[in-house]
Amino acid sequence: MNPRFLIRPIEPRDDAAIAAIIRAVMPEFGADGPGFAIHDAEVDAMHASYARPRSAYFVVEVDGQVAGGGGIAPLEGGEPDVCELRKMYFLPAARGIGAGAAMMERCLDAARAHGFKRCYLETLTGMDAAQALYRRSGFRTLCGPLGGTGHFSCDQFFIRDL
């Protein structure tokens, strides 16, 4: 365990903090217009949204405060063996301390436990640190989107085998 941060499953009490983090981080990268996850209905009810079958969401705490999160769920409109890495956003306090790699490992372990064979994600040009993490974690780029996430403003797509 890393003494600088803790990763744990989301709880109902975390919903407001995670919604605030998503709404703070996405605009930082220009991801607040139409076609981005910031507008998804689940943002205000993350615990309930990820309590669904074959889904999981985790929060990262830094110094006892929720500073980010990430999760997996079946890819909407995708093949049954493909999950999507979703809503992985961190405040600056959780960046550069290894929390991203640890969160990625936790999410991919959850995906395997739920029987997925591949993990897909969508992101945006300019999210360079995130894309470096994805590549280090074994993701490869795709030419276009999979499934039907509704996030038509994303322009970078990745997948990896589990």
On the question of pLDDT at 106 being above 90, the answer is yes
CATH (domain of 146): 3.40.630.30
| pLDDT, tens digit, 9 for 90 and up, residues 47-57 | 999 999 999 99
Max intra-chain CA distance, the chain: 40
Which domain does 22 fall in, by range? 5-161
Mean pLDDT lowest for which of 80-89, 112-121, 146-155? 146-155
Domain count for the chain? 1
User: What is the full DSSP assignment across 86-98?
Assistant: EEEEE-GGGTTSS
Q: What is the pTM of this model?
A: 0.94
Give the model's pLDDT for residue 34.
Answer: 77
List Cβ neighbours of 128 (8 Å cut-off, separation of 6 or more): none
| pLDDT, tens digit, 9 for 90 and up, residues 8-50 | 999 999 999 999 999 999 888 877 877 788 788 889 999 999 9
On the question of pLDDT at 1 being above 70, the answer is no
